[in-house]
Chain A
Amino acid sequence: MKLNQIVDHCSLKKVVFLSDEDIKTGYCGDLMSDVIAHADNESIWVTVQAHKNSIAVALIKDIKAIVFTNNVEISMELIEKAKEEKINLFSSKNNSFQICGLLYQLLEGKYYQD
């Protein structure tokens, strides 16, 4: 699934959008060690942890995009770091549960249909 399709479907705000990556799956979590241990590569990550360390975690796990939910504040420093490391950043006023619901529908849709 292309990032652009995800952005449209989930009504995400583009904060840093560098390349329309192919996304295979997603992960949701606010504990760095949990994400490091369990997120898949080539995935999209939903979290409220908007700090520079999130970029480090994304890099290690080959996570292609991060969605910051609950409208958390995103610092300029974080944006610069994301551009430097080529990680796509999005933001949403919705909470993680709502974003995950939409993402699940898109990425795992075949199990979702009634």
Chain B
Amino acid sequence: MTILHSRQKLTLANELIYELKVKDAMTREVISFSEDSTFREIQMSLKKNRISGVPILDEKKNVIGMVSIDNVITALDHDYVNDKVKEYMTRDVITIPQNFSLVSAIKKFEKYKFGRLPVTENSHSKKMVGILTMGDILNLLLLSIQTIAEKVEEKEDRDSQLSEQLIEKSQEKPLRFEVKKADFDNAGRVASIIRTYLQRLNIDKKTTRRVAIVCYEAEMNISIHSLGGYISVTLEQNNIIITAVDYGPGIPDIDEAMKPGFTTASEQIRALGFGAGMGLPNIKKCADQLELESSMETGTILKAVIRIGG
């Protein structure tokens, strides 16, 4: 599991190093010297600026050499530290054009083992526009990953709330399903349709399952115990509301009906695996809010509120 996870992260970094360009990562303000500078001058500058090498430019800003901390140490060793660098500096400089991708820069760092690469205007020119280190690349990668993470978070924030347009539509025309008496074959139909509907709206799995369970149990209750009724589902910004209405005969004692295991279902219904006296307790467990009203004259109204992502 851990290995898979780190691989996924690497995929993202891999994509990024192909997308991002050298010019996105490079440092534009570069400390540089002319070939008439001495090793001593460069040594002071390296120390002061805490860097490990500098490019040597001609008067037209073309890169003509590099002097690194190693070169300075060698100059100290061999006693030419006060000489001009033009006699000794590396003239065969590896550079990289600013429009190249980071992946080619990384390859060059690996191949030549340099700490820094002077960046040129384009592949035909030696004019320097910046300098690039592995540190610059890592910095940009971290920044890009952070930006992506922030975008994902914003999107998730948006997704956990439903759009106003959708809510308006659902309140104008709530989803409404007739449930017939003793129609066990089709029972589960409402739960199934609602489940697909919520999946399409990108509602999270857990919320969808809770809504489906409430719909299923309410549907079974209407089918087993009543003369028939309907289930409607409406959406609010943070909630899904399920209303189950039947046309009677009503629940004589609601407290008793809420008790797990209490049932009035017939032997025939129980043989099918229904009427175990767990319907209402299941609904109660899944709902964040539950209202149940019943009258022996008009029937029963059940209203369950489920918080999205709650």
Contacts and interface: CB of A to CB of B under 8 A. Distances in A.
Interface of A: 30-34, 36-37, 41, 47, 49, 51-57, 59-62, 85
A57 B278 contact: no
B282 A33 contact: yes
Residue among A36, A47, A51 with the highest chain B CB neighbour number at 10 A: A36
Given A33-B217, A36-B213, A37-B285, A60 B195 contact: yes
B166 interface: no
Interface string B202-233: 00010001001100110010000000000000
Given A34-B278, A37-B278, A37-B285, A51 B213 contact: no
A52 B217 contact: no
A34 B274 CA distance: 10
A53 B187 contact: yes
A56 B187 contact: yes
Given A52-B188, A56-B189, A59-B192, A33 B272 contact: no
Given A33-B279, A34-B276, A57 B188 contact: yes
B278 A31 contact: yes
A56 B192 contact: yes
A38 to B, nearest CB: 10
A36 B282 contact: yes
A37 B187 CA distance: 17
Interface in B168-197: 184-189, 191-192, 195
Interface hub of B216, B220, B282 (most chain A Cβ within 10 A): B216
A57 B213 CA distance: 9
Contact of A57 (B216, B279, B281): B216
Interface in B262-296: 272-274, 276-279, 281-282, 285
Given A33-B279, A36-B217, A62-B209, A55 B188 contact: yes
A31 B191 contact: no
A34 B220 CA distance: 13
A54 B274 CA distance: 11
5 contacts: A33-B282, A36-B213, A36-B216, A53-B184, A59-B191
B195 to A, nearest CB: 7
Nearest to A32: B273
Given A52-B186, A59-B191, 8 more contacts: A31-B274, A32-B273, A33-B278, A34-B276, A51-B184, A52-B185, A56-B189, A60-B191
A61 B188 CA distance: 12
Instruction: Please name the 9 residue pairs, one residue from A and one from B, whose CB atoms are nearest each other, closest first.
Output: A56-B188, A33-B278, A31-B276, A49-B273, A60-B212, A32-B273, A33-B276, A37-B282, A30-B273
Given A33-B278, A59-B192, A60-B191, A53 B209 contact: no
A53 B220 CA distance: 10
A82 B193 CA distance: 15
Contacts of A85: 192
Contacts of A41: 209
Nearest to B277: A33
Nearest to B208: A60
